[in-house]
Structure 1
Amino acid sequence: MRQPGRRFWLPTTAAVLAVAVVVLPFRLAAVGPGGGFADVTALGDAVTSGFVDFWSAGATDLPTDLAKAVDFWARFHVVKAILAAALLVTLVSLGPRVLASSVRARSVPQRLLAALVVLLHVSVAVLALLVVVANIQGAVAPLSSVVGLMTVTGPDPELAASTAEVRHALAAGEHPPALGRLLADFTTYHVVMAWLGGLVTVGLVVTAVLLWRRRARVARTDRRLRRLVLALAGGVLVLAGFFGVITAANISTAARPAPALLGFFHGGA
């Protein structure tokens, strides 16, 4: 016999995990060696001062402030990836129940509510997938990720001088040790995303095929379920196309990282 509270276990878990993904990573990352930072602004300030020291030293080793920020940011990404992955698994497990509820809806208000629930469910699942992928990337190459917190076009004169030297070296094709470290990590950053994007693309295509086969097994009289499964399969294929484009872009950047890194130090994303 099904326990009374079992019906609400997965939705409650999903809601708790959704909040945890947003609230907990910055706090939990501070538990590791070196502690944490008061807020993102304090982290950005530490990255800025650490980067100036790193570039002026000219070596591959990271100065204390920057190393602390990189380690913290790596932990942040690991925590966020784990929580987002748990959320994604929970949402996938909850999916059949959400679809079944949508199909059972009879009145117009019930159908509208069911459609909103399906849309919310799918949207959060897609967002969770994006968060997982992005945070695995950041965890593997945290230096490139945390450097993104710097305002390279900001008013800090020391940072402005350092970034100007970085731009000059990149434009001239020079590779001093510090720049070599940046380029190596930046390349890794995009190689990781290329692999992840490729795997996700294949996984989504397989999922779309499975959904299409599932639709073929649904009785033709059950038109609502057939339309819903078809819409999901189409949405999954669109998402696969999106990840395919992301994969191609990251392969291109990994093959020629210097122009993209130069673009970042010119103030690009």
Structure 2
Amino acid sequence: MSTTPPPTTRPGPPRTAGVPVRAATVLTALAAGLISAFVLAPGPVAGSMSGGGYGSRRDLDDRLSASFTDYWESGERGFPPGLRDLVDYWSRYHLVKAVTAALLLAVLIALGALLWKAFLRASGRTAGTRAALASAAAVVTALALFSLAMVMANIQGAVAPFSSLMSMLPVHRPHGELAGVLDQIRRQLAAYPDGGPTPPPVEVMVSDFGRYHAVLAVAATAVALLAAAVSVVSWRRFAAVAASDRRTRRVLRSSGLFWALMAAAVAVIAVANTATTADPAPALLAFFEGGW
């Protein structure tokens, strides 16, 4: 009489505290690699794309001061070659950072979702394990929000690199010819637009500064709408969860409140930048006067 051996079952992926170890390890390694790339890669990559980079921040600042002075003295709308090279480099620099930050954001969203799910399923775990899961999920969520801010800021820099570069001018401690140039720009902006003929470089600065804030206004509006939608979904899921599932209800309630507050805060940023877009000259003057 023969007996049939019981069917063998393949073990599932290893889990620690309810977290898929392999998936968590891969996502964590990807996040670490992308953080390193965000810090280290933009300069070399942008330099290779634009025919040459800049050895140091001091080198970049010195070239910016000199080329900005040349631009003002030219009296033309078009950038001289030195400033054009800087603007092209700076646009590519921010493009690389924006793409890297977007990839990091996607990885952190996936890792955060994995950790929050593990926390919600940790009813049989110790209090210490649950606290560790919640803490890890909260840290990853905070990093994801920071990555989102970096995506927005670097899209802004990639679309309006000239205004982004101007923010690096030493307006608080100018020296040499740049000090005189900045003084002339302040006088022109104080009289803009009714103080007579406006030099073409001032028109370019005002226009690009408006574009710089328009990009952030659009991005902030999109983020505010997305945050509001997440808040609504969280509240709806909260209402649908049984009262006995207190952990899930607590997480969903916190999520609903957090994303509602986030939507309100980002909406304020969107409104402020929309106002600056409509009338950028006063804000640009405030920058050149050291008000930023």
Give matches, 1:239-250, under 5 Å. 239-250=262-273
Does residue 129 of structure 2 align to residue 110 of structure 1? yes
Judged with a 3 Å threshold, the aligned counterparts in structure 2 of structure 1 residues 95 and 217 are, in CA distance, closer, same or farther, namely: farther
Shift of residue 268, structure 1, vs aligned partner: 2.4
Partner of 2:62: 45
Q: Say which is worse superposed, 209-218 or 119-128, in terms of deviation.
A: 209-218
Distance in 2, Cα, partners of 1:115 & 1:16: 24
Q: Say which is worse superposed, 134-143 or 14-23, in terms of deviation.
A: 14-23
In the alignment, which of 242, 251, 266 is matched to residue 228 of structure 1? 251
Shift of residue 3, structure 1, vs aligned partner: 5.8
Does residue 79 of structure 2 align to residue 79 of structure 1? no
Tell me, which stretches of 5 or more residues in structure 1 are unaligned?
none
Q: Which has the larger radius of gyration?
A: 2
In the alignment, which of 176, 179, 182 is matched to residue 163 of structure 1? 182
Judged with a 3 Å threshold, the aligned counterparts in structure 2 of structure 1 residues 216 and 32 are, in CA distance, closer, same or farther, namely: same
Distance in 1, Cα, partners of 2:161 & 2:236: 41
Distance in 2, Cα, partners of 1:189 & 1:224: 43
Deviation digits for residues 43-93 of structure 1, max 9, x if unmatched?
Answer: 121111111111111111112221111111101111111111111111222
Q: Say which is worse superposed, 93-102 or 68-77, in terms of deviation.
A: 93-102
Contact 1:32 1:75 in 2 (8 A): yes
Judged with a 3 Å threshold, the aligned counterparts in structure 2 of structure 1 residues 210 and 30 are, in CA distance, closer, same or farther, namely: same
* Other structure's SS at 2:173 match: coil
Q: Say which is worse superposed, 126-135 or 19-28, in terms of deviation.
A: 19-28
In the alignment, which of 115, 118, 134 is matched to residue 153 of structure 2? 134
Contact 2:91 2:161 in 1 (8 A): yes
Deviation digits for residues 113-138 of structure 1, max 9, x if unmatched?
Answer: 22321221111010011000111111
Shift of residue 168, structure 1, vs aligned partner: 0.4
Partner of 1:255: 278
Tell me, which stretches of 5 or more residues in structure 2 are unaligned?
1-9, 15-21
Aligned residues: 269
| Superposition TM-score, scaled by structure 2 size | 0.87
Partner of 2:242: 219
Distance in 1, Cα, partners of 2:240 & 2:186: 59
Percent of residue pairs bearing the same amino acid type: 37
In the alignment, which of 116, 129, 143 is matched to residue 162 of structure 2? 143
Judged with a 3 Å threshold, the aligned counterparts in structure 2 of structure 1 residues 155 and 108 are, in CA distance, closer, same or farther, namely: same
Distance in 2, Cα, partners of 1:100 & 1:13: 20
Shift of residue 36, structure 1, vs aligned partner: 0.9
Distance in 1, Cα, partners of 2:184 & 2:243: 67
Contact 2:116 2:134 in 1 (8 A): no
Shift of residue 212, structure 1, vs aligned partner: 1.7
Distance in 2, Cα, partners of 1:215 & 1:26: 46
Shift of residue 100, structure 1, vs aligned partner: 2.0
The CA RMSD over aligned residues, in Å, is 1.7
* Other structure's SS at 1:30 match: helix
For 1:234, give the aligned amino acid.
L
Q: As a proportion of its length, which structure holds more helix?
A: 1
Q: Say which is worse superposed, 21-30 or 128-137, in terms of deviation.
A: 21-30
| Superposition TM-score, scaled by structure 1 size | 0.94
In the alignment, which of 238, 250, 265 is matched to residue 261 of structure 2? 238
Distance in 2, Cα, partners of 1:95 & 1:198: 24
Shift of residue 249, structure 1, vs aligned partner: 0.6
In the alignment, which of 225, 228, 232 is matched to residue 205 of structure 1? 228
Q: Say which is worse superposed, 110-119 or 232-241, in terms of deviation.
A: 110-119
